[in-house]
Structure 1
């Protein structure tokens, strides 16, 4: 049985772990957690999402909740709807970047933020120890509302950011008339991303944007899965290629030469964009950037240029968000392509990332490749290993391999040297161990990865 529950919610393979009964049980537990009120529900477009939605709606209605249905929509859209409404919680039906046979549930608290570790523990305790029959309050006048304005409200929240309303940047972007190719893997970003780009005056070329939820290639936006996007951009001399995962919280870009610039560069560009216009955010946020331990060290270089502080957290959106709130950070995110801008909302958001990148391109009057070439070069290697090893058992061997390193154990094992770092951790979303090595010298990074791989397996 394939079922994973973590700080990233619940994920499983349909009918091999994620069954109707499991969905019903988790929905009931979340209803008990929320106690009463209204729940917001949306899905990433996978065909299995419809029957899961139906099950969840029946549970909440039977337990006296009102329901707002968003339909097929990005996870950040669902989060924003919860935050801006009087809902007591929300559920995004998605398995994010996992293959099509997977689906899952992301649980959102009344503030529009994913449940943190403590909140998840409360939810799981309810699930594991309380029978559904113990919570059978029925309200006969329950309402089910279909929210047809959620996507437009999300777009408006971005267009109303101060970098657009208090400057001429919006018109400068429109004057560039960018030609943009969009690969939304036929999922939740298919419509809303194209609509956002049209608002910015872009000519949009839709590659995989039919909204069917049928993925044309593996859905994780990695270079090996984006060859068609790269070819279309390169062969037609378009300006930018945009790729998102099924629930559109991650953004990956292709430059005008057809090069996939890598998921790590998304947050770099977004941070550069915000810090370059920090004066429009200064009244509410500190000049602090929060990223996770697996994100590129290039962030420190960009932050240093603007005199900003960098704070790192454990991997996982909610971990980054909690640290951002603590630091009153102006922007944060993760190297997987996730951008979090609290001025809009506290959640990874590909649409926010797109807007910030267009802002930076118009501000610098440059191409995407020119922006990337202006940054220092780092070499990052990522590997996945299926193993049951206890990561902490390899700490001594990691210290032997990198004797001059500082070891951090906040999230797995991280070893930091002056020009290289290593991060080994158990995934929140897949039954694997992730190994990441980044350094300024490619040859040494490869050598260290080879040795780590042999240690882990």
Structure 2
């Protein structure tokens, strides 16, 4: 049975197995206690288990004296923006992100609309483990209200960005195919595209939680979208994950450009308008770094995880950042990965290029990335990483998040998993062959230790 995953991104597990009503109550009560009888926003993606989990979460928050605003089925970034809109103390998104339908989880956020910092998240988890709760009596329990306007406010905020030329987009009338995998995106992505004047073809657009394919927007899961782009003669295709914080792009030929290039395209577009620092995580493609260097802009990397990227963006006053999994972050909108934002910036960039998406993608620095994992069973992952650090001490390395070994035109990143007995290994190089050979080389070394 899959274990409950507890991390800086929240908790997630398989419903009825590792994620039970008791587990939901345990963590919701702990978070509710930290909210100190304030207002909390609650929403989530379209999973079939979302209703009963949401009811538990709302009940626990009210029992702790919190006033709950239920914003319904919404993307995670929409909920983050609603925290700021309502000036709430925090929020809970009920989602398991890109995991399959049988999974669900809780993502906790603070008053700044960001995920909890690692330190605050750990304090919540420690409180949950202790089981201490400050339940309120009948006269002090919290209230509940609903607000159905969250998705539209998100659309309006994206379209009001100074980079978006709405009249020109409406005149251009891009033909777009959108695959929202029957997740929360079905209630916001078609509406966003229609507001931009696009001719929209929607596949898997019912927000019913019955995901039409493996929901992570990787090329191997987007065969249906690729075919739809070609058969409809579309200019572009977009795929989002169930909670709509990640976006993948299919070009006009029906070919996926790769999740890494959603961010790279956005970085290039924003830096062409506004110079400033860029922040990505340690496993993100070097393409964004090359683009920042071209514009002579400072470039920084953080540990993997949205909150780590966001905190570094705040420190460096970055103009754009994100993660190479299709997560674009623009501080002018809010500090969180946002697929509706990525879609709007991509269409604006495509408009201004006066060319095809295939050509726009080809103009970006090109690398190939290979991701793998090594089962280490009962070995100590920290010891293995340290042995690798010692072994490659003569090479340029970065120890911020595991071990990253930089070559002239390639890199390898080794990180331990916090939830499984594995070490993740990611390589990037100009060719698939070179990236694969790097993964094999380092896998063989680790297995020999």
**Which band: TM-score by shorter chain?**
over 0.9
In structure 1, the partner of 2:373 is: 384
Deviation track 1:338-397 (CA, whole Å, cap 9, x = no partner) reads: 001110001000011111111111111111110111123212111134444444433466
1:65 and 2:61 aligned = no
The reply on whether 1:215 has 2:215 as its aligned counterpart is no
Match of 1:199 in 2: 195
Once the two structures are TM-superposed, the CA of residue 442 in structure 1 deviates from its matched residue by: 3.6
Answering whether residue 122 of structure 2 is matched by residue 121 of structure 1, we say yes
Q: Gaps (5+ residues) in structure 2?
A: none
For 1:251, the equivalent position in structure 2 comes to 247
**Most deviating of 379-388 and 226-235:** 379-388
Q: Distance in 1 between matches of 2:193 and 2:439?
A: 39
Residue in structure 2 matched with residue 415 of structure 1 by the alignment: 405
Mean CA deviation greater in 238-247 or 368-377 = 368-377
CA distance in 2, matches of 1:201, 1:386: 49
Superposition TM-score, scaled by structure 2 size: 0.95
Which residue number in structure 2 is paired with residue 236 of structure 1? 232
CA 1:403–1:37 in structure 2 vs 1: closer, same or farther (change >3 Å)?
closer
**Cα distance, 1:264 vs structure 2:** 0.4
Conserved 8 A contact 1:36-1:88 = no
Tell me if structure 2 keeps the 8 A contact 1:60–1:67: yes
Tell me, in whole angstroms, the C-alpha distance in 2 between the residues paired with 1:21 and 1:173: 49
Aligned to 1:109: 110
Alpha-carbon deviation of 1:146? 1.2
For residue 270 of structure 2, give the secondary structure of its aligned residue in structure 1.
helix
The offset of 1:454, in angstroms, is 3.0
- Partner in structure 1 of residue 313 of structure 2: 324
1:349 and 2:350 aligned = no
Match of 2:163, SS?
helix
Instruction: Tell me the CA shift for residue 64 of structure 1.
Output: 1.8
CA distance in 1, matches of 2:119, 2:64: 24
- 1:13-52 alignment, distance < 5 Å: 13-52=14-53
CA contact (8 A) 2:158 2:341 kept: yes
Query: Counterparts of 1:267 and 1:341 in 2: how far apart (Å)?
Result: 11
Structure 1's 448 and 15: CA in aligned 2 closer, same or farther, altered over 3 A? same
- Counterpart secondary structure, 1:354: helix
Aligned ranges for residues 50-89 of structure 1 at < 5 Å?
A: 50-89=51-90
Q: Secondary structure at the match of 1:249?
A: coil
Q: Is the 8 A contact 1:4 1:430 kept in 2?
A: no
TM-score by length of 1: 0.93
Pair 1:157 & 2:157 matched = yes
Match of 1:283 in 2: none
Which residues of structure 1 form unaligned runs of 5+?
279-285
Please give the root-mean-square deviation of Cα atoms over the aligned residues, in Å: 1.9
Distance 1:398 1:151, change over 3 A: same
1:362 aligns with 2:351: yes
> Does the aligned pair in 2 maintain the 1:181–1:240 contact within 8 Å?
yes
Partner of 2:271: 275
2:181 is aligned with 1:185: yes
Q: CA deviation at 1:452?
A: 2.2
User: Are 1:92 and 2:93 an aligned pair?
Assistant: yes
Change in 2 beyond 3 A, CA 1:147/1:426: farther
> Higher mean Cα deviation, 434-443 or 334-343?
434-443
8 Å contact kept, 1:253–1:262:
yes
1:433 to 411, 419, 423: 423
CA distance, structure 1, for counterparts of residue 421 and residue 63 of structure 2: 34
Task: Name the structure 2 match of 1:281.
Answer: none
- Cα deviation digits, residues 255-292 of structure 1 (max 9, x gap): 000001111000001111111111xxxxxxx7000000
